Amino acid sequence: AQSVTQLGSHVSVSEGALVLLRCNYSSSVPPYLFWYVQYPNQGLQLLLKYTSAATLVKGINGFEAEFKKSETSFHLTKPSAHMSDAAEYFCAVSEGSGNTGKLIFGQGTTLQVKP
Amino acid sequence: SQTIHQWPATLVQPVGSPLSLECTVEGTSNPNLYWYRQAAGRGLQLLFYSVGIGQISSEVPQNLSASRPQDRQFILSSKKLLLSDSGFYLCAWRGRGRETQYFGPGTRLLVL
C-alpha cells in the first residue's frame, strides 16, 4: 500500500530564508508524486508534480522538488521565502494514471514566514 | 479551459438535518471525480470517487453517500447529519488517462 509522511507539521522560516518541506513516500510501483498548496479556506492548488521524467521538477512560485528513489523522498524547496508563501502544503502519491487515479496525501505542513 | 465549481461555499446545519453538496466540472468530458473531507487540523481523507455516471466507490464507512447523476456532476449527501460531519469538503476531478487531480474551492460545513 502507498503512504506519504511529511516530517514536521509546522515549519517556520524568516522572509528570504530557504524553505525546505520534507516528504517521504512508500510505493510498490513507480510513483507519481505531487505537491499541493492550500491557502486558508481555499481548495488545493497544484505546485508541481513528478511523473517519471526529470527527477528535478520545477513548479510555480519558485518552488522545486527533487525525486530521490534511493531515499524514497520528494522534498520541496524554495531558495528564498516570501510572506505570500505562508500556507499549508500537502505531498501526495498516486498509483499513476490508472483507472482510479486515487491520491494518498500526507498530513500536511503549515509554513509560517516571519518578517 | 476546465473549471470546477462547488456550492454552497459555507453551510451551517443542525444535527439530524439532511445534506446535499454539489460539484460540477466544465470543459472536460468523462472525468474521474472525487470527494474529500478535511477535518480541522487533519489531512485530506478520500470519501468517494467515481469513474463514470452512476459508478460510485466508497473509501470509508460513514454517514454520507455520493451520486453522479450526470457526467460532470457529483453530489455528496446525508440523510441525517452528525456533529462529526463538520469539516471542509473538497471536490476534485481528473482527466481520463491523466495523472493530476484538480480541486474545487471547497464547502465549509458546520454541524451544530
Q: What is the pLDDT of residues A55-97, one digit of tens each?
A: 999 999 999 999 999 999 999 999 999 999 999 999 999 865 5
Residue (of B88, B61, B35, B71) closest to A108 by Cα position = B88
Q: Contact at 8 Å (CB) between B33 and B25? A: yes
Residue (of A57, A39, A49) closest to A93 by Cα position = A49
Instruction: Decide which of B20 and A27 is more confident.
Output: B20
Confidence of residue A54 (pLDDT cuts 50, 70, 90): confident
Q: Would you call A105 and B44 a contact, using CB atoms and an 8 Å cutoff?
A: yes
Chain B partners within 8 Å of A90 (Cβ): 43-44
How far is the CA of B100 from the CAs of A16, A102, A112, B4, B57, in angstroms? Answer: 30, 10, 27, 14, 19
Residue B67 bridge partners (DSSP): B75
Site of grid cell 458546520: B110
Q: Would you call A97 and B101 a contact, using CB atoms and an 8 Å cutoff?
A: no
State the pLDDT at residue A100.
77
Residues in chain B, pLDDT under 50? none
Examine the pLDDT at A99 and tell me if it is beyond 70: no
Among candidates B44, B57, B92 on the partner chain, residue whose Cβ is nearest the Cβ of A90: B44
Q: Contact at 8 Å (CB) between A19 and A37? A: no
Which residue in chain B has the smallest CA separation from A101? Answer: B99
Q: Is A84 helix (H, G, I), strand (E, B) or coil?
A: helix
Q: In this structure, what C-alpha cell is assigned to residue A36?
A: 499541493
Q: In this structure, what C-alpha cell is assigned to residue A52?
A: 517519471
Q: Contact at 8 Å (CB) between B41 and B33? A: no
Q: What is the CA radius of gyration of chain B?
A: 13
Q: In this structure, what C-alpha cell is assigned to residue B27?
A: 470543459
Site of grid cell 447529519: B81
